[in-house]
Amino acid sequence: MGVKSDGEALAMDYEGGTWRKTLKASVWTDWVQLETSEGAQKKVDAHAKQTDTHVTKADKDRWNTGQLFKITADNGTQKINLTSGSFYDSLKDVGSVTFYGTNAVTDNPSDTSLRGMQLVGQPGIGNGYAVDVKGNAWWFYYNSNQTAINWYPIESVAGAQSKVDAHANKTDVHVTRSDKDKWNNAQLNKISNDDGQPLFNVTTDLHAELLKYPSLTYFSYEKTAANTPPAGGRGFWTCSVGKSYGHVLAMTNDNRTFRKSLANNIWSDWIELDSTEAAQKLVDAHANMKDIHVTQADKNMWNGAQLSKITSDNGSYLLAIGDEDNFLEKIVKNGRAFGTFYSTGKAANSPSNASTRGMFHFTSLDSEGKGTFGYVIAVDYKNNMFTNYLDLNLGWQGWRRIVTELDTENVPWINVPYKNGAKSGDRPLQYRKVGNTLHLNGHVLTDREVVFGSVPSSCAPAKGVVTMVAASGTTGYSKIIIYSNGDLKLTGIMANIENNVNGYYIDLVVALT
């Protein structure tokens, strides 16, 4: 975010794919495929006969188990803002956190401003991701033996509620109904331990352990556990309400990243991708009424928690985009700067016609509660990843699908169907579509001035193409016409001995637009 000419996009889908692309100096790269807690506590029991002024022990216990470790500022924006110094010096001792830095930060890998999130496994060791305003993205890693961050390129929120109003004449011991409503509306579903460390450590079987947690979860694992990557590390797990669909992102201790997906209760293989504080102690006993009162320190602690939700209380998506909605308008007007969403794919301006899940993050909200500058990352169930960026002055920049090597490498060759008596010479005529180009390869025996074969129109140049191919049997050339409907025809001949022409070598790469 920030300057609109640079940015980064990362996507995961249910079929095991992870995709990335980069916007650098307003130019997008192709999509590249990268290789390879509990539900909220029960509602607060009615407190004696003074439900509007007192809380029960159960109230306090539940609030104290909420998400108390901040990863963003209270208004949902980044927690750390840097205009000088280095990311390493500012992040190495602060735990899991979101951050922002200008291009004046000495170890900024970009030439413009950068935003991202750090994930800390233990003091002095951290990794995470960052995206600049041009769309370029990086994941990074550092440990206590380093003096700087290692950057690896890869393809908000309304402010917290006002402080608790003074309660009657006992502002240090009581809470109001609005206090309790605010706390109960906080992010009560944990994604990590209160100190920012993994919520659980997998020692037996990764698949079985993850299915015990039906929500967005930060975990660690031992390399000896079944169904884990080849080295121990940390990761994220997110899934649907029924736990039949989900994604796992694992970052190993040897600086590698892996992902896998769960689709219709079937796990994919692992795919390797290329490239804190301790929680506060329980509330001190309050005078002689420790079961019904809270202290000022209690209220300060609860009001300083992560009160801006990014998921629902059960860890599922925060924003539902209906069939009749406008996808982009619904996200802009949702009233939050950071959150998760789900769409069936039928809403207007959807990135895909398949059901889609993802996240959005805006710099802030305007006076009408609309998101300003920010981005959306969406992954459909077909394992396609899309990104879009909002510039308040220029509007949405348009959906971009991340392209991977599956779109550009190992694309199979297909035989061209012959027409009008044409046949293969030394090798059959074959075609394939690679990105925005048509590839033709083969030796064909055919008459000129007739359509001797066709490729699908979806693989043909939009305006047709005329180019030269070599004749066989003698030294010479003929023109080949590739029509926009896919028909192929040879016309004309220039040859040393025209009567010796017995075929044509068609080895071409043609741009489609």
Q: How many domains does the chain have?
A: 3
Does 218 lie in the same domain as 148?
A: no
Determine what percent of the chain is predicted with pLDDT higher than 90: 41
pLDDT in tens, 6-62: 888 888 878 777 888 889 888 989 888 876 645 445 654 554 556 666 777 887 887
Q: What is the pLDDT of residue 52?
A: 66
Task: Give yes or no for a contact between 508 and 439, defined as CB atoms under 8 angstroms apart.
Answer: yes
Residue by residue, what is the 3-state secondary structure of 99-111?
EEECCCCCCCCCC
**Alpha-carbon separation of residue 201 from 89, 198, 316, 459 (angstroms):** 29, 7, 22, 50
Does 490 lie in the same domain as 430?
A: yes
- Least-confidence region, from 35-39, 361-365, 373-377, 492-496: 35-39
510 vs 176, residue with greater confidence: 510
Mean pLDDT of the chain: 84
Above 50 in pLDDT, residue 443?
yes
Helical H runs in 359-461? 405-408
Domain limit, last residue, from 273, 288, 305: 273
pLDDT in tens, 384-403: 999 999 998 889 999 998 87
Does 10 lie in the same domain as 130?
A: yes
Residues 6+ apart with CB under 8 A from 238: 215, 216, 217, 246, 247, 315
- Least-confidence region, from 38-42, 220-224, 461-465: 38-42
5 vs 466, residue with greater confidence: 466
Confidence of residue 357 (pLDDT cuts 50, 70, 90): very high
- Least-confidence region, from 137-151, 183-197, 252-266: 183-197
Does 93 lie in the same domain as 4?
A: yes
236 found inside a domain? yes
**Which CATH number goes with the domain that contains 492?**
2.60.40.1830
Does 494 lie in the same domain as 437?
A: yes
Query: Which domain, by its residues, includes 485?
Result: 414-511
Q: Which residues are paired to 128 by β-bridges? A: 118, 140
Does 136 lie in the same domain as 203?
A: no
Above 90 in pLDDT, residue 248?
yes
**DSSP 8-state assignment for residue 318:** S
Does 150 lie in the same domain as 208?
A: no
Does 148 lie in the same domain as 4?
A: yes
Domain limit, last residue, from 249, 273, 297: 273
pLDDT in tens, 156-182: 333 335 444 544 566 666 778 888 888
Q: What is the pLDDT of residue 44?
A: 47
pLDDT in tens, 67-91: 667 788 888 888 899 998 888 888 8
